[in-house]
């Protein structure tokens, strides 16, 4: 029990506020400052902050700068900050805007708007640790670097924002955030002969490939076109990533597959950082994309060819140039050959089965190529595919075509009478004595079936009933016929007696 400082009554300690009993606290209209804990009359308070604290910085307690407050367009509530903390607050808000821009680039506008409107936690990129985020658990800690919580991006989106992104989308988003926030500096760009020298320098390490070191001479095609292709190397002393940059037809700029140091634990981060740099500089990805790009290169057709990841499809060539594209489904059709051989040759593509065979340029011609297996096959005259089991099919006009078994199963039938194969367009449906239907060719249908004069359906000859006005099926005859009053037999004559 303690004695109230106002009325002197004894009150349990756990219900007093700064030594004042609840009755006096309410009667005198007192309030407790949320910053310093002092108790005073409400008339001297600014909200839940006393007048003295209201004139001090919310973060460090130093006298607040009364002029030029934080604009309410960036932060929804008015805050009192000193000049130093105000500068830090502007940095935090700028980092929040940068985080939102990254989310917009990653096609996540919903998350971006949620970040910008969250003035309770004020999430942003971390100022202390690149690749991390920071947020405030309490609204009053929004601009205090000492009290803000640093957290990994993936954990923040899963645990704090509770977003419903799938694992792959979240991983791509995290790599993009880390790549843009960390950055790997400006690249060194090499063209022409310098491009080949750049590839020759990778003898060992995580950036080696089938076109580096002693195999760099296979990059001669790219070195001969300095106005069309260049390589960008990232890393100040030891290169950590590289990417080919292409100047394509129509003034388009594209970047190829990104290679990063595969021996480094930060390989994926490096790749994402390179992609961010390329997109910021006006390049569009040509690797594993639906966008189509074309580039025409001067070429020594008797020399070696590089292994290319994106622009590997050859859609045109002359005596000294080749036209490359990244689109395997180009309108010019299946490509006769492509640049996908590690030994410096071209890879011929069979136009029938798309089987690939490395060979020297021009060995199998430049227009079309058939592998050894497809050369002995027959081309289906319906679908164009080649088959080793050709089947003859009769058409509507008196001619035949050779079809593959697949087309025969889908678009042809076998006549029940003559057992020849015909396309479905010449089929005739015939009903047998049990009411089951089957298909016959037009010639057999005329010979072995008839068309009912009443219902128009075709039936086998055994079901025909010939009358003076036409031939009827049994069902229609029994429905329309009259009974002879003398002999009782059905007839189709006009009188009451049959003809006999």
Q: What gap in Å lies between CA 231 and CA 239, rounded to an integer?
A: 12
pLDDT exceeds cutoff 80 at 21? yes
**Contact criterion met (CB below 8 Å) for 53 and 36:** yes
**Token digits of residue 55:** 């004139």
Query: What percent of the chain has a predicted confidence (pLDDT) above 70?
Result: 80
Same domain, 108 and 40: no
Q: Is residue 428 part of a domain?
A: yes
The answer to the question of residue 408 being in a domain is no
- The arithmetic mean of pLDDT across residues 418-431, rounded, is 83
Element (H, E) at 393: strand 391-394
Residues 136 and 208 in one domain: no
Of 282-291, 384-393, 483-492, give the lowest mean pLDDT range: 483-492
Q: What's the total number of domains in the chain?
A: 4
Percent pLDDT > 90 in the chain is: 13
Q: What is the DSSP string of 297-363?
A: EE--TTS-----SSS-EEEEE-SSEEEEES-TT-TT-S-SEES--TTS-EEEE-TTT--EEEE-TTT
Rounded to two decimals, what is the model's pTM? 0.53
Give the model's confidence band at 496: pLDDT under 50 very low, under 70 low, under 90 confident, else very high: very low
DSSP character at residue 210: T
Give dist(CA 381, CA 411) in Å, integer: 12
Most confident of 242-256, 368-382, 392-406, 423-437: 242-256
Above 60 in pLDDT, residue 362? no
How far is the C-alpha of 80 from the C-alpha of 308, rounded, in Å?
59
Q: Do residues 232 and 356 share a domain?
A: yes
| Rounded Cα gap, residues 366 and 255, in angstroms | 28
DSSP assignment of 264-290: STTHHHHHHHHHHHHHHTT-EE-SS-S
Residue 390 included in any domain: no
Which of 182, 197, 212 represents a domain boundary (last residue)? 182
Residues 247 and 126 in one domain: no
Most confident range, picked from 287-296, 426-435, 444-453: 287-296
Residue where a domain stops, chosen among 152, 182, 212? 182
Residues 178 and 215 in one domain: no
Distance CA 282, CA 448 (A): 74
The pLDDT tens digits of the residues spanning 271-330 come to 888 888 888 788 999 998 888 899 999 988 777 889 999 998 887 776 788 888 888 766
- In three-state form (DSSP H/G/I as H, E/B as E, the rest C), the secondary structure along 21-82 is CHHHHHHCCEEECCCCCCEEEHHHEECCEEHHHHCECCCCCCECCCCCCCCCCCCCCCCCCC
Please indicate, yes or no, if residue 113 is contained in any of the structural domains. yes
Confidence of residue 469 (pLDDT cuts 50, 70, 90): low
Q: How confident is the model at residue 54 (pLDDT cuts 50, 70, 90)?
A: low
Residue 497: pLDDT band (50, 70, 90) is very low
Two structure tokens written together for 23: 């009755």
Whether the pLDDT of residue 67 is over 70: the answer is: no
Q: The domain containing residue 278 runs over which residues?
A: 187-376
Confidence of residue 364 (pLDDT cuts 50, 70, 90): very low
Mean of pLDDT over the chain: 79
Choose between 125 and 331: higher pLDDT: 125
The two tokens of residue 492 are 């189709």
Q: Are residues 193 and 274 in the same domain?
A: yes
> Which of 71-85, 151-165, 362-376 has the least mean pLDDT?
362-376
Is residue 360, in this structure, part of any structural domain at all? yes
Is the C-alpha dihedral spanning 466, 471, 473, 476 positive or negative? negative
Query: What pLDDT sits at residue 498?
Result: 47
Q: Of residues 111 and 367, which shows the higher confidence score?
A: 111
Read off the pLDDT of residues 401-422 as tens digits, 9 standing for 90 and up.
888 888 888 888 888 888 888 8
| Residues 280 and 369 grouped into a single domain | yes
Residue 315 lies in a domain: yes
Rounded to an integer, the average pLDDT of 458-466 is 82
Give the torsion through C-alpha atoms of 103, 109, 110, 115, to 10 deg.
50
- Whether the pLDDT of residue 193 is over 50: the answer is yes
Per-range mean pLDDT, top range of 76-90, 274-288, 347-361: 274-288
Greater confidence, 164 or 42? 164
Q: 269 with 355, same domain?
A: yes
Residues 148 and 112 in one domain: yes
Nearest to 267 by CA among 337, 178, 330: 178
Residue 65 lies in a domain: no
- Tell me what the mean pLDDT of segment 67-85 comes to: 67
More confident residue, 454 or 258: 258
pLDDT in tens, 152-187: 888 899 888 888 888 888 888 887 787 676 667 778
pLDDT at position 374, please?
Answer: 72
Which among 326, 313, 306 has a CA at the least distance from the CA of 195?
A: 306
Reported for 32-35, long-range contacts at CB under 8 A and 24+ positions apart, including other chains, are 34/140, 35/61
Same domain, 197 and 163: no
Q: What is the spatial distance between Cα 26 and Cα 369, in angstroms, rounded to a whole number?
A: 96
Domain final position from 123, 149, 182: 182
Find the mean pLDDT for residues 238-265.
89
Domain annotation covers residue 338: yes
Regarding whether 339 and 309 lie in a shared domain, the answer is yes
Query: Could you tell me the two tokens for 409?
Result: 């199963």
Contact assessment for residue 216 and residue 199, using Cβ atoms and an 8 Å cutoff: yes
Mark whether 286 and 208 lie in a shared domain. yes
Q: Quick one: tokens of 31?
A: 């309030």
Answer whether residue 14 shows pLDDT above 50: yes
């Amino acid at each position: 029990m303690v004695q109230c400082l106002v009325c002197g009554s004894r009150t349990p300690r756990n219900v007093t506020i700064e030594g004042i009993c609840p009755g006096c606290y309410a009667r005198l209209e007192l309030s407790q400052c949320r910053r310093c804990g002092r108790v005073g009359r409400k008339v001297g308070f600014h909200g839940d902050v006393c007048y003295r604290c209201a004139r001090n910085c919310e973060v460090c307690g130093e006298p607040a700068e009364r002029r030029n407050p934080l604009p309410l367009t960036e932060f929804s509530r008015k805050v009192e900050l000193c000049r130093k903390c105000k500068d830090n607050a502007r940095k935090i808000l700028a980092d929040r805007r940068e985080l939102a821009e990254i989310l917009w680039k990653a096609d996540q506008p919903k998350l971006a708007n949620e970040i910008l409107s969250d003035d309770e936690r004020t999430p942003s990129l971390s100022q202390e640790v690149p690749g991390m985020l920071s947020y405030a658990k309490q609204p009053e800690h929004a601009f205090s670097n000492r009290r803000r919580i640093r957290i990994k991006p993936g954990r923040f989106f899963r645990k704090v924002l509770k977003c419903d992104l799938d694992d792959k989308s979240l991983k791509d988003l995290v790599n993009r955030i880390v790549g843009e926030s960390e950055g790997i500096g400006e690249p060194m760009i090499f063209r022409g002969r310098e491009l080949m020298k750049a590839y020759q320098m990778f003898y060992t390490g995580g950036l080696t490939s089938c076109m580096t070191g002693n195999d760099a001479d296979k990059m001669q095609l790219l070195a001969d076109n300095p106005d069309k292709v260049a390589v960008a190397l990232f890393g100040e002393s030891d290169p950590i990533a590289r990417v080919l940059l292409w100047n394509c037809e129509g003034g388009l700029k594209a970047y190829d597959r990104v290679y990063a140091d595969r021996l480094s634990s930060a390989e994926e981060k490096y790749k994402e950082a390179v992609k961010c740099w390329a997109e910021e500089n006006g390049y569009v990805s040509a690797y594993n994309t639906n966008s189509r790009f074309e580039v025409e290169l001067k070429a020594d057709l008797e020399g070696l060819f590089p292994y290319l990841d994106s622009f590997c499809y050859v859609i045109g060539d002359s005596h000294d140039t080749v036209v490359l594209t990244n689109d395997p489904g180009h309108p010019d059709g299946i490509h006769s050959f492509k640049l996908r051989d590690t030994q410096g040759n071209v890879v011929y593509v069979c136009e029938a089965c798309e089987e690939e065979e490395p060979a020297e340029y021009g060995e199998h011609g430049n227009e079309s190529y058939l592998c050894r297996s497809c050369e002995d096959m027959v081309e289906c005259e319906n679908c164009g595919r080649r088959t080793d089991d050709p089947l003859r099919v009769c058409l509507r006009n008196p001619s035949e075509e050779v079809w593959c078994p697949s087309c025969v199963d889908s678009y042809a039938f076998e006549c029940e009478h003559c057992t020849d194969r015909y396309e479905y367009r010449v089929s005739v449906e015939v009903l047998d004595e049990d009411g089951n239907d089957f298909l016959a060719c037009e010639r057999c249908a005329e010979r072995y079936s008839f068309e009912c004069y009443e219902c128009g359906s075709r039936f086998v000859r055994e079901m025909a009933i010939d009358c003076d006005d036409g031939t009827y099926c049994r069902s229609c005859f029994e429905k329309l016929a009259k009974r002879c009053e003398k002999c009782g037999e059905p007839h189709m004559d006009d009188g009451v007696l049959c003809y006999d």
